[in-house]
Chain A
Amino acid sequence: FSIDVFKMLDLGVSVNHIHDKLASLSSLQKDFVPFLLNFLREQTSQILTNGPSTPAKTPNSKAHGSQRTGSERRTGHASSSRVQLFSPRTSVTASLPVRRGRRRGSSSVGASGRQGARDLGCSLAEEEDGKSDSASWSGGRRKSSGAPLVSARSPPSQLNLNNLEEFPPMGAASGWAKSKPSRRINPTPVSAERPLSKPKTCFTSTPVSRSPAAHWSAGSSPEAFAAVQEGNLSSVMSNSLQEEREMLKKERYSLRISFDPGTPTKPSYTRSASLPAESHLVTCANPAKVSCKKQLECLAQLYSSCIAENLVPNIFLELFFVLQLLTSKGTSTAEDGDSDPEINVSGRQHFESVHNCVYFAVRVLDYQFEIISHLEKGMLKLLAENERISSFSPTLHKRLRQAYESSTAKVSLLLPCSVQSVSFQPETDNRSNFPSDRAFQVFKKQRDIFYELLREWEDNHEKTVWDFERVLGSKIRAMMAHLSATCNHSRFARLFQKQLIQMCKGPIGGGASWGDTPDQDVLNMLGSDNLSRLKRLQERFVVPQSIRGPCPPPSFPGCQQFFRDFILSAGSYQFNQHLVDSLCLKILELNGLTLVEHDHSDGETDMEEQDEKKRFTVALLSLRLLAKFLGFIVFLPYRTAEQPAGDMPDSALVLRNQTLPVLDILKLLRQSIRDQRSILTIPWIVEYLSLVDHVAPFLDYYRKVFGLLLLMVLSEDKEMSFLNKLLILAVLGWLFQVELFLLCCILSAFPSFSHQDFVPLVDQQLLYTCCPYLSELRKLLASFVAGSGGKNGGFIRKITPTAAESLAPKASVTQQKLQVDLEQAFFHNQPPSLRRTVEFVAERVGSNCVKHIKATLVADLVQRAEAMLQDKVKEEDVNHDKLLEEVCTHLYEEGAQALIKGREFCKKKGPEAVRVLLPEETSAAVLSSAESIAVELATEKACGWLSANIAALIKREVKATFNRMLKVPGFPLPGVDAVELRRDCPPGCQHCAPFPSQMINEIKYVLCVAVGPREEGEVVDYVWLECLLGRLSQTLRCRKFMCPTAEQQLAKCTVELASLLVSDRVPLSLGIKSSEKSPERLRGKNDPTSGLLKLLFSIWKEDFGTSVPVQLIFSKKNVGYLTEAKQREWDLFLFLLHGLTEHELMRTSEIQSCLHSLEELPWPSVSN
C-alpha cells in the first residue's frame, strides 16, 4: 500500500462513508466526534468524579514554572503563554475556510472541528505540562525518573486515576467489585478539594497535572473559555451545528451549575480513605435499573463506530475510559438518581447512574470485542471474570470466556539482566585500529574507567545521598579530556552505544516493557517450572504496579539513567557528535532490515518464523532505545525550560529551517510506508520525536513528519496485521498525547502553513487523546506483534549485507550492471531464504577468507620477517624504522599471492556452505547459480579487502611482532647471540626436574655466599654444589616449565658462578680431603673446582637452549675477582679458557679480543 498524502486525505475524507450515523451527520462530522466524546466525558463526569482531583486554588503559573527544573522540555510551558497562544485562534480559524478550498478533500472539513481539537489539545497539553514536571531529566542531578512522581498526578478531570478502586491497573486485580484489597503499591495522589470543579470542555482521562493552573490560565473563568469558543464556532458553523452546539453548551452550563462548589452534592475526597474502607461504597450495578437504554445504545453505537474507524487517535485511551465506566462506583448523587431512573430526559444526564454507565460500557466492549480479544490473557481473564459484564451481557461474558480460554497471549517481562560488558574484539579493538600507541593506551584506560563508573553507579545510584554529577561528573569530564587529546571519541562513542544496547534493551532497563521469550540459559539452569515462578515473583517486585498514567512523558528508566546522566555530565560536544554518528549508524543498520512478508508456501518452518519474530523484536527494541537517545542528544542543545517567548521562535525557525536533520527521518518514514515496514520504523521515530524541543515541531521538516504520522493513524490498511496496527496506533497515540501541546502550537502559530491537507486530520487526532493504559498495552502489543506475525502476514527480517566495493574493473560498467540485474532477477522468483542464505554465506566466507589469509600467508610472512629482523637487529646502530621498511618491502610481492589464495579459498568454501544450507531438493541449476553467486560475492568481498589492505596488514603485523620482539624481557643485548634454540624435552621426559625458579633460587644462594658477606665458617658443600649442577642440567633439559627469562638468568648466573669459582671466591667444603695442591694442578684435573667447571662446560654446551654469555667471564668485574686471587686460580682460569675453546663455547680469536679489550681498562699498577 502506498500511502501518500493524498491517499491519506482520502482516508480522512472517507469519514463520510464510514458509518450511517456519521454519514447522516456529514455536515457535522468534524465536530461531531469531538462533541460526542466531550459529551460522554461530561455526562459521565459526575459518576466518575466521586474522588475529585485537582487542587482548588489556581496557583500562580509563574511560580509553578520557576519550580521546574531546567531541561525538561514540556515542563516549562508557562501557563500564561498558553493563553496567548490561544488568543489568535479566532482569526486563525476564520481564515481557514478560505484556504481549505485549495486543497482537495479538505472542503468537507469544518474548521470548527479543528478548533475543537485545538481546544482539546491545548488543555491536554496543559495537563501534560504539569505531568511532565515530574519526569525531569535535567542535568542528571535529579534521580527521580518519571515513575514515582507520575503516580502523584491527579487528574484534572472527573477521573480519579489515583483511586485504585476506580482504576485498577490493567491485567491485575480481578473482581474489584468484591473489594479485594489491591496488592499494588499505592500511588500517592496529590489531591485537594476542588471547589471550582469545572466541567471540562475537553475529555480528559489523562491523569494529569498537579497544577490546575494548566487548565485554567489567566482569567480562567469558564465563561471566558466558552466565549472564545463561541466566537470560533459562530464564525464557521452551519446553523444546525450551531444549534447542536448551543444545546451542548447549555448542557455544559447546567452541569457546571450542578458542580458548583457551593452545591454540597460532591463529597470531598480525602486521600486517607483507604481502599477497603472505600470499597463498601461500590454500588451494585443492576441491569434492571438502567434508564434511557435507547439513548445509551445509540451513543454506544456512535462511539464504537468512531473507535472502529480510527477517528479516535488513541483507541486505548477510549478503552480505558470505557473500563472506567465499567468499573465506576456510584456516588451519593448517583445513588440518589437510582431511585428515580426516569427523571433523565433530554438535558439531563444519561450517565448519572452506575447502572447506565456499566450498561454503556458493556455495550461498547461488545462492539469492540475484536480489539479486546486481542489483548493479553490476564486482561481477558479479568474481563471474563467481571461480574458486571456477566450480569449485563451474558453473551459478551461468554465470548470473553472463550477468548480467554483460547488465548495464548501471555505477557511476561524478562528478568532484568545484570550488567554485561561489551566484549573486546581484536578485529576492531586491537592496536592496529588505532593511530598511535598513545591512543590505544588511552582507550584501554577509558574502557576500564567507563566500567568502573558503571559499577559505581550500579552500586550507589539508589542511595539517597548519592549524586551522579557530584560523584562521577569530574571523572567523566577528565575522561572526555583524555579522549579529546587522542581523538578517541568515536571509538568510545561506539563502546558507549554498544553498552547502552547491551544494558537497556531489556524491558526493565529499557522501560519499554516488551515481552520476550525467556532466556534459554536461564531456562536451562532453572527448569521452566521454576523459572516461570521466579519470573512471576520477580515481576511482582520489579514491575511498577501503580498506574503510571496512560501517557507517561518520555523518561529514562533503569540503566538508561546512567547513560543519560553520563551524556549530560560529560557535556562534550565531540563526544555527543560521535555518539550521534554511532547511534545513526546503528539505527540505519537496524532499520534497514528488510521485512519480508512471510510466505507460507515455501515451507519455512515455525521455528524459523519464531526466530524471525524474535529478531524483529530485538531490532525494534534496540531501535527505540537508540532513537530515544538520538532524539535526546539532537534536541538537547535547543532544550529550554520555558517556551521561548516573543519573536524567539521565529528567528530560531528561520535559521533552523535551513539546517538538515542528522537523520532524515522523514525520508525513512516515507520509505517505510512505501515498503510496508512502518511497523518497524514508526515505533522508533515516535521515540525520537518524543524528545523534540519547543521549537523543532514548528520547523517545516518536523511539521511534515508529524503530519505524516498523524495521517498514519487514519490509514486503514486492511492488509496489515491487526496487532501490528494496534502497535502503531498505540505508539502514535502516545506521541500525540505527549506532543499534543506542540502540535497545538503548530496549528495556532502557523495558520497558513502550506500543508493544510493535514489540518483536518490533525484536528481529529488531537480530539481523541487520552490513553490510561498505554504503557501497559504497549507491553502487550510487543509480544503480540512478535507473536502474531505468522498468520497475519507477519514479518521476517532479512540482513542486507553491505555491498563490497568491486575489485578490479574487469567487466564494463554496463556488463556489471547487467550481472547485478540478472542476479536480482534470479533471486526474485526464489524463496527469500535462498537469498538470505547466499548473502549470509558470501558474507561469512568472505570474512573467513580474510581471516584464513591472515592466519596462513600473512603469518608465514611475518615469521620470516621475524627471522630476518632478528638477524639484522643485532647489528649495532640500526634504524629500526628503516629496517622494518626494508623487510616489509621484501614481503609485499609475496603478499600479492593473497588474492590468488583468497580466490581459491572462496571457491572451495562457498559452494560447500551453500550446499549444506540450502534444502536438499534445490534443483541443480538453482544450486549451482546460488553457489557461484555466493562465491562471487565472497571473493569480491575478500579480495576487495585484501587487495586494498594486504600491504598494510603485513606491515602492521610485522611491526607488531617486531615491537614485541624488542620488548621481550631479556631481549639479548647487542653482541649476545640471540638465536634461541627451540627444543623439546628429551624423549620420555617425565617433567620431574626441579622448577627453574627453584634452580635460580639455589644458585642465587651460592652466589650470595660467594659474593659475601658471609658468616664465619660459612661454606658451600662441594658435593651439594655438584649435585646442584646435576639438577640444573635436568631442569634445563626439561623444557616444559622453562621460560626464556629464567633460562637467560640461569645462563648468566652460571657464568658468574664460574667466574667466582676460578677466583676462588666460593668457599667450598670438600669434606675430609683438603684442596692441597697436587702436582697436576696446572691442568687442574684433580682440582675439585675443575670438576665443577667441567660440569658447567657440559651444561653450557649441552643443556642450555639459549646462548650462554660466557664472555661475561672477561668483564671487568669478574676479571677483577681474578686479579685478587692467588696463583692457583690463574691455573684454573687457564683451565677455564681451555675448556671454553674445547667445548666450542668461544673461539680462540674471541677470547683474544676479550683479553685485548681488558688491556684497555685501567688496572691497578700492581698486578699478579
Chain B
Amino acid sequence: MCLITVDQSQSTLLSIFSQEYQKQIKRTHAKHHTAEAIETYYQRYLNGVMKNAAAPVLLDLANEVDFAPSLMARIVLERFLQEKEQAIPSKTLISSMLRDPSQIPDGVLANQVYQCTVNDCCYGPLVDCIKHAVGHEHEVLLREMLLEKNLSFIAEDQLRAKGYDKTPDFILEVPVAVEGHIIHWIESKASFGDESSHQAYLQDQFWSYWNRFGPGLVIYWYGFIEELDCHRERGILLKDCFPTDIVTLRHSMAQR
C-alpha cells in the first residue's frame, strides 16, 4: 500500500494551531453571545449590507472582533431568523442552513454566510467535514495495519450495529500486549494530543472504553505531549504511530 505522505510536522503544527485557536474561541465564546453583542453584530451587518451587499461584511466583522467567521455567521443568521420567524429557530435548522446556504431565505445573507463558512479555517461545515475525513482516513490506515499484522478486530460500525453504547475505533478480538501492556482496543486520533483535548477524551471516551473493555491503546497520529502518557499502568497507552512491539497470545511479532 502506498499513501500520500502528508508532511507530518506541518500537520502537527496545523493541529496544534487549530486546537489553540479553538481554545481561544471557547474562551471568548460567551462574550460574543451576550444579547448586546448579538444585537450590535446584527445591526452592523444590516448597515454593512445596506451600503454594499457585495462587500464581505460578515467576514470583516468576524475578523475585526476576532471571532470565527462561521460562528459569526451563525450568530447573525440566528438573529435574522428570529426576527423573521418571530421565534427561536431550531439548532438543526440553523446548522442545515449553514451547510447549505441556498436554504437561507435571504440571498444577500446566504452569500455572506457562504463566504464566512468557506473562509473559516477552523470552524464551519467544510472544516468539520475535512476533520471528519482526516479522522476517517487515519482509521482506514490503522485498519490496514491491523490487517497486515493479522490482528482480528471488530470495527466501530460493527460495534455500533451490535448496540455498544461506547465504541472505540477497534476492539481486538484477541487482546495483544503492546510494550508489555495488554490492550483490548485501539482508538485512532488524527490530531495532536494536547492536555486539554486529552483530558476531554479521557473523560468522554478513553475511560469509558476502559470501563467496558479493559485497557487499550490510543494513537495520536500527530503526536502528543509526552507527560500525558501517564496512565499506562492503569490501562490507557499512548502512541504516535502504530506500535512495533506487539506480542500476541501465541508468538512474538516484535520488530516486524
Contacts and interface: CB of A to CB of B under 8 A. Distances in A.
Interface of A: 420-421, 423-424, 426, 429-432, 440, 443-444, 447-448, 450-452, 455, 960-961, 964, 969, 973, 990-998, 1000-1001, 1004, 1007-1008, 1011-1013, 1040-1041, 1043, 1045-1046, 1049, 1052-1053, 1056, 1112, 1115-1118, 1120-1121, 1124
B107 A1117 contact: yes
A1040 B4 CA distance: 13
B126 A1049 contact: yes
A1004 B2 contact: no
A420 B126 contact: no
A1000 B214 contact: no
A645 to B, nearest CB: 48
Contact of A421 (B6, B114, B160, B210): B210
A995 B214 contact: no
Contact of B119 (A421, A1008, A1045, A1053): A1008
Contacts of B102: 1112, 1115-1118
B4 A992 contact: yes
Interface centre among B60, B125, B126, B213 (most CB of A within 10 A): B126
A1117 B110 contact: yes
A995 B115 contact: no
Interface centre among B136, B137, B163 (most CB of A within 10 A): B163
Contacts of B210: 421, 451
Nearest to A1123: B107
11 contacts: A420-B214, A421-B212, A426-B164, A430-B165, A443-B165, A995-B134, A998-B4, A1004-B130, A1011-B114, A1041-B136, A1056-B114
A1040 B2 CA distance: 12
B100 A1008 contact: no
Contacts of A451: 207, 210-211
B207 A448 contact: yes
Interface centre among B115, B125, B129, B213 (most CB of A within 10 A): B129
A1049 B160 CA distance: 24
Contacts of A994: 4
A430 B6 CA distance: 39
B1 interface: yes
A1011 B126 CA distance: 14
B50 interface: no
B133 A431 contact: no
A997 B191 CA distance: 14
Query: Which 5 pairs of residues, A with B, have the shortest CB-CB distance?
Result: A430-B163, A1115-B102, A997-B133, A424-B212, A1046-B133
A430 B140 contact: no
B162 interface: yes
Contacts of B56: 1012-1013
B208 interface: yes
Given A1012-B56, A1013-B56, A452 B126 contact: no
B104 A430 contact: no
A482 to B, nearest CB: 15
A111 to B, nearest CB: 61
A1112 B111 CA distance: 14
A1117 B104 contact: yes
B223 interface: no
Interface centre among B102, B140, B207, B214 (most CB of A within 10 A): B102
B45 to A, nearest CB: 15
A848 to B, nearest CB: 16
B166 interface: yes
B165 A440 contact: yes
B59 interface: yes
Contacts of A990: 1-2
A1008 B126 CA distance: 11
A1046 B129 contact: yes
A423 B104 CA distance: 48
A1046 B119 contact: no
A1118 B103 CA distance: 11
A961 B131 CA distance: 25
B255 to A, nearest CB: 19
A498 to B, nearest CB: 12
B3 interface: yes
B101 interface: yes
Contacts of A1043: 132-133, 136
Given A1053-B126, A1117-B114, 14 more contacts: A423-B212, A423-B214, A424-B213, A440-B165, A444-B166, A451-B211, A455-B234, A973-B100, A997-B130, A1007-B118, A1011-B115, A1013-B60, A1052-B100, A1112-B100
B248 to A, nearest CB: 13
Contacts of B130: 997, 1000-1001, 1004
Contacts of B207: 448, 451-452, 455
Contacts of B60: 1013
Contacts of B54: 1124
Interface centre among A421, A443, A1124 (most CB of B within 10 A): A421
Chain B interface SS verdict (over half): helix
Nearest to A1048: B129
Interface in B145-199: 160-166
A886 B210 CA distance: 40
Contacts of A1049: 125-126, 129, 133
Given A991-B1, A1116-B110, A1117-B111, A1013 B126 contact: no
B137 to A, nearest CB: 5
Interface string B1-30: 111101000000000000000000000000
Interface string B223-256: 0000000000010000000000000000000000
Given A451-B211, A1000-B126, A1117-B104, A432 B111 contact: no
A1104 B66 CA distance: 38
Contacts of A1052: 100
Contacts of B133: 995-997, 1000, 1041, 1043, 1045-1046, 1049
Contacts of A430: 162-165
B133 to A, nearest CB: 4
Nearest to A1120: B107
Contacts of A995: 4, 6, 133-134, 137
Interface in B81-138: 96, 100-102, 104, 107, 110-111, 114-115, 118-119, 125-126, 129-134, 136-137
A384 B166 CA distance: 59
Contacts of B136: 996, 1041, 1043, 1046
B214 A1008 contact: no
A1044 to B, nearest CB: 9
A610 to B, nearest CB: 22
Given A960-B163, A996-B137, A991 B213 contact: no
Contact of A1000 (B104, B114, B115, B129): B129
A197 to B, nearest CB: 53
A909 to B, nearest CB: 21
Nearest to A1041: B137
A431 B140 contact: no
A1025 to B, nearest CB: 16
Given A1008-B118, A1117-B101, A447 B132 contact: no
Contacts of A452: 207
A992 B5 CA distance: 10
Contacts of A1120: 107, 110-111
A246 B210 CA distance: 71
B136 to A, nearest CB: 4
A786 B165 CA distance: 40
Contact of B118 (A443, A1004, A1041): A1004
Contacts of B59: 1013
A1000 B56 CA distance: 23
Contact of B214 (A421, A444, A1001, A1116): A421
A164 to B, nearest CB: 36
Nearest to B119: A1008
Interface centre among A960, A993, A997 (most CB of B within 10 A): A997
Nearest to A495: B211
A70 to B, nearest CB: 33
Contacts of B140: 1040-1041
